[in-house]
Amino acid sequence: MSETISRTCGCCGTAFHQTVPDKSSEKPGFFYDLDNRPPEPARSELYRQIFRCPECGFCMGPKDRKAAREFVDSEAYKSCEGNDLPEGVGADYYRVGMAAEQDNDIQTALAAVIRAAWFFDDTDDDANAVKCRGKYIELFKKLRGNDSGALVVAADVYRRCGRYGEVAESLKNRWFPDRLTRQIIEYEAQLADADDRAAHSLKDCFDVIDGDK
Ligand SMILES: [Zn+2]
């Protein structure tokens, strides 16, 4: 089953229709992953929210965005900044991130490149997932202000890239007022100490906490 959605390209102005998969029919879950990836049915939404203009190749997420033709035609855009990601949902999300970054919309850029990483997780393409997480870190460093939610995700992103030392470094001298965040951070540090690069959910975190009682 699928659904057809109409969009207008923010680069060349072409109106187009795109077929997207139907909403997941799985029962709603409770536990997010440590990098904030939601459970079903929202988990599969990343496959419904990515659009590519058939005319010029500009990629858009659910929100409209404008871009110049030179940007979309550039080698950097086509090659995902030299990362040469295989064409598809992952590369297109990476490009959504590039366009948002160019507009200085870092929050949207972060949301887009982490979705690119999730796509490569789903396709067991670790090398390209690591490239997308590397981009997440690069963008995260551009964030202004004290965003503890983004910091918690960043700690997970470092770990999922195998950059274990940087997990501790990113959290040094940080204190989180709420207990849940402190527990997640502590669990994240334990995983990094164990050289564990796998995806983990909040359920795994709670199981460890409950086991310690
Ligand atoms: Zn277009």
- For residue 56, report the distance from its CA to the centre of ligand 1, in Å: 4
Q: Whole-angstrom Cα distance, residue 8 to residue 57?
A: 12
| Distance from residue 201's CA to the centre of ligand 1 (Å) | 38
Give me the amino acid identity at 86.
P
pLDDT band at 177 (very low <50, low <70, confident <90, very high): confident
- For helices 126-140 and 148-160, angle between their N-to-C axes, nearest 10 degrees: 150
- The percentage of the chain sitting over the pLDDT mark of 90, rounded to a whole number, equals 80
| CA 136 to centroid of ligand 1, rounded, Å | 26
- Mean pLDDT over all residues of the chain? 93
Distance 63 CA to ligand 1 centre (A): 15
Per-residue pLDDT, 171: 81
Expressed in angstroms and rounded, the spacing between residue 113 Cα and the centre of ligand 1 is: 21
Say what the pTM is. 0.94
Give distance in angstroms: CA of 4 to centre of ligand 1. 18
Per DSSP, the three-state class of 100 is helix
Separation of 17 CA from ligand 1 center, angstroms?
12
Residue 213: its pLDDT value, please? 62
Q: What confidence score (pLDDT) does residue 72 get? A: 98
* Cα–ligand 1 centroid distance for 8 (angstroms): 8
Domain residue ranges in the chain? 2-212
Find the 150 Cα to ligand 1 centroid distance in Å: 32
- Residue range 19-58, pLDDT digits in tens: 999 988 888 888 999 999 999 999 999 999 999 999 999 9
- pLDDT above 90 for 1: no
Distance (Å) from CA 41 to ligand 1 centroid: 30
Chain centroid to CA 97: how far? 9
Across 48-72, average pLDDT: 97
Alpha-carbon torsion 194, 170, 204, 136, what sign?
A: negative
Environment class of residue 89 by beta-carbon count within 10 Å: exposed (0-12), middle (13-18) or buried (19+)? buried
> Percentage of the chain surpassing pLDDT 70?
99
pLDDT tens sequence across 113-158:
999 999 999 999 999 999 999 999 999 999 877 778 888 899 999 9
Q: What is the average pLDDT across 53-80?
A: 97
pLDDT value for 184: 92
Q: Nearest Cα to 9, choosing from 47, 49, 46, 56?
A: 56
pLDDT digits (tens, 9 = 90+) for 77-90: 999 999 999 999 99
CA–centroid distance, 7 to ligand 1, in Å, is: 10
Q: How far is the CA of 157 from the centre of ligand 1 (A)?
A: 32
Q: CA separation (Å) from 26 to 22, 39, 103, 124, 152?
A: 11, 9, 36, 22, 27
